[in-house]
Amino acid sequence: AQSVTQLGSHVSVSEGALVLLRCNYSSSVPPYLFWYVQYPNQGLQLLLKYTSAATLVKGINDFEAEFKKSETSFHLTKPSAHMSDAAEYFCAVQNTGFQKLVFGTGTRLLVSP
Amino acid sequence: DTAVSQTPKYLVTQMGNDKSIKCEQNLGHDTMYWYKQDSKKFLKIMFSYNNKELIINETVPNRFSPKSPDKAHLNLHINSLELGDSAVYFCASSQASSGDEQFFGPGTRLTVL
């Protein structure tokens, strides 16, 4: 069964610092991978997705993620954090042929001035 | 224009009651979903419909019954509400293909007293 592990339920960074949110997946076949962001009291918004084209995926708001099959990882990065990036971030996996998303437990990003 | 809308946004009710949550999407998508987000922010698929047909039914108590009157609407009816049903319920939609972005509604926060 496919699963997603997000290391760190909370990550704290200073404004302007590098953001790194970790995601490892378990899947028997090459999956589709997604990062979603959830701002307080809102729904989820797609940041970026990997669908077997380029391994380095660029998303909105300067976020990017790199698919590493050998490490079964899809970590999310951003070069410089903004206060507005403070939110909950979810990594999700979807196997080909199935449409449900299997989510990780989420990582709350805290950004301090 | 709201892509995926849900009503109501908040729902407070007593144990044992029956309640419904409605979802509508104006994106022309073929597939709609219900996800449950618990108090620890964990998101899990409940149901998925494709062109009004049920295609995913996770291990959800049969007190939960989805209904799709047409491919733009997916409602969730819950009978005999229990305390453990308290959660945020998200509706989402996507095209039928794997790897397509799922668009999420704003969520319905259900509180069972």
Q: Could you tell me how many CB contacts below 8 A there are between chain A and chain B?
A: 62
* Tokens (6 digits) for B7: 């009503």
Q: What is the pLDDT of residue A74?
A: 95
Beta-carbon separation of A94 and B99 below 8 A: yes
Distance CA B50, CA B103 (A): 15
Q: What is the pLDDT of residue A20?
A: 98
pLDDT in tens, B26-57: 999 999 999 999 999 999 999 998 888 888 88
In chain B, the N- to C-terminal Cα span, in Å, equals 34
B11: nearest Cα among B103, B104, B58, B77: B77
What are the residue ranges in chain B where pLDDT is below 70? Answer: 1, 97
| Average model confidence (pLDDT) across chain A | 92
**Torsion sign (Cα): A54, A56, A57, A61:** negative
Q: What is the pLDDT of residue A111?
A: 97
Distance CA B94, CA B30 (A): 7
Q: What is the pLDDT of residue B55?
A: 86
Residues on chain B touching A42 (C-beta within 8 angstroms) = 106-107
Q: What is the pLDDT of residue A95?
A: 76
Q: What is the pLDDT of residue B98?
A: 72
Which residue is closest to A98 within chain B, CA to CA?
Answer: B98
Which residue is closest to B46 within chain A, CA to CA?
Answer: A100
Burial class (CB in 10 A: 0-12, 13-18, 19+), B76: buried
Query: Which residues is A88 bridged to in the sheet?
Result: A38, A108
Beta-carbon separation of B107 and A42 below 8 A: yes
Beta-carbon separation of B99 and A101 below 8 A: no
| Average model confidence (pLDDT) across chain B | 93
Q: What is the mean pLDDT of each run of 10 residues along chain A (113 residues)?
A: 89 97 85 92 92 88 94 96 97 80 95 96
